[in-house]
Structure 1
């Protein structure tokens, strides 16, 4: 636990605690797995572009375009990891961890943009289907499935709780689905000559791309907007904090993520006059870490005024401009 500062009745007691692990930018193992997947994808990408041009297949070329964004997304994730590993210094008081979230958001936006472009082109080919060499499409797609299964497995070995890694993973996963759809389309064209199967397969892939892209952008935007993580309810946590021993009120409660998987919390806590503010702060910080896995906490602790305890209904808050709801201890506890 961080040391509390300040002494004497009515004076603020502020403390900061954090988990023992360092806030870094991904492990060396994560970077190795991503780099290996990048090599596999780039090698196959070159061959797929050649095959797509020869076969005249939009599905193959769209897969190649998607694989190009896959390679870019992995390269971006690797760069973000390296930058995020820099220690906090100067104006960057949290370090560069948010770069990983920026990388994830860029990956999401590229999935959406590419999906829209491919949808327009697929509709055009549905109306005017070109001649496509189904056998070549099928063969390349089957090789692509193997390549993407390998790359997907490699990236799945990295830490996917990182939104940065998850962004790269979603690119590769949707590309795997794309190759499955392309293989089916190739088989249909090879057997029946139904050329529109190529465009239909593309539209199915587009749906997957848009879904993954929107989810990535939404998750990254929540972190940029300082929203509480989806698995942490600020109101529930605030009420529970107010119910801790000696606590009278909790306000200015903020819960956010420094980066994916690194939640942080700050709050102003009022305690009963005469009670040990240091002990209350340590108790609340320990409870937050053990129950909600919030290891990065900053808590300001003050003694409450006697009239506030008597009112107990928020009509006389300690801070006139408190942000968000004011959480009081349960009335039953206040009457004891």
Structure 2
């Protein structure tokens, strides 16, 4: 119980650092293992793990920098760096996976028998290393940690597939299984990485992180007695976890100083449950022209 509690309070940087060093060390072992066993599936995973290691290193750096306090150049702070690195991670992995496919597909026509018992030994190591690294990142809330955790889980399941294929090839001489595995694994990764990169890119371009959440916020604000209308309602995310809201509210009637103060308090109370990182609320009087023309 104590371990679980401690695990979730480990800073993201520490979790990402562990995954980085594990992946970098293991990808070097894989390249050597891939050459020794003559396996495209293992070389495919070596390239993929090296891509992961570079991505994790970038995520680690971005995660450290994103905790820097805001300054007069970056007034919102540096949280969006982790989102930028999540996008770059995706691009690196997409490129690496396409390269692997270009290597593995020609082998379908000229398959070579790999060293099956060597593949089996490496797969056991791969399951252990990637499984442990994925466990270290499990429970992370940033977009970066989610993407990296997904990569590591994919790698672990990839090694399970290598384990099964190597066992079959120890019994039967079917060399074509090796490039088939490399291609299948690469296509699976490509689909998922494209999906995650699309999500990160959307957040980076300030797409609403959750349309349902935006709808709930709008209803909550319009349900307030003194509020007649809400426009210029913008919800975006700094890093996939910390959201920012700006809105113009139109009051039902002209307000006294006391009523204005009360409305501000009502707005504050109604938004408390949404746990927004930053809010900017402008209150306009009924006949007042909005300063920002476009809605």
CA offset digits 1:45-102 (Å, max 9, x no partner): 2222212101111111111111111211221111001111111112211111111001
- Within 2, Cα distance between the matches of 1:218 and 1:302? 37
Structure with greater proportional helix content: 2
Instruction: Tell me which residue corresponds to 1:293.
Output: 275
Q: 1:234 to 1:34 in 2, by over 3 A?
A: closer
Instruction: Tell me which residue corresponds to 1:277.
Output: 260
Instruction: Tell me which residue corresponds to 2:169.
Output: 189
Q: Greater RCO between the two (CA within 8 Å, min separation 6)?
A: 1
The answer (yes or no) to whether the contact 2:65–2:78 under 8 Å persists in 1 is yes
**Residue 293 of structure 2 is aligned to residue 321 of structure 1:** yes
Q: 1:251 to 1:64 in 2, by over 3 A?
A: same
- Within 1, Cα distance between the matches of 2:118 and 2:103? 21
Choose which of 133, 145, 149 in structure 2 pairs with 1:151: 133
Deviation of 1:258 (Å) = 1.6
Deviation of 1:235 (Å) = 4.1
Larger radius of gyration: 1
TM-score for the superposition, normalised by structure 1:
0.79
Q: Which runs of 5+ in 1 are unaligned?
A: 1-26, 309-316, 324-336
- Within 2, Cα distance between the matches of 1:289 and 1:204? 47
- Within 2, Cα distance between the matches of 1:151 and 1:295? 30
Instruction: Tell me which residue corresponds to 2:199.
Output: 219
Give the 3-state SS of the residue equivalent to 1:297 in structure 2.
strand
- How many residues are aligned here? 285
The answer (yes or no) to whether the contact 1:178–1:205 under 8 Å persists in 2 is yes
Q: 1:189 to 1:181 in 2, by over 3 A?
A: same
The answer (yes or no) to whether the contact 2:236–2:243 under 8 Å persists in 1 is yes
Q: Which moved more, 1:134-143 or 1:112-121?
A: 112-121
The answer (yes or no) to whether the contact 2:220–2:270 under 8 Å persists in 1 is no
Instruction: Tell me which residue corresponds to 1:246.
Output: 226
- Within 2, Cα distance between the matches of 1:179 and 1:73? 20
Deviation of 1:250 (Å) = 0.8
Aligned-residue Cα RMSD (Å) equals 2.2
**Residue 160 of structure 2 is aligned to residue 177 of structure 1:** no
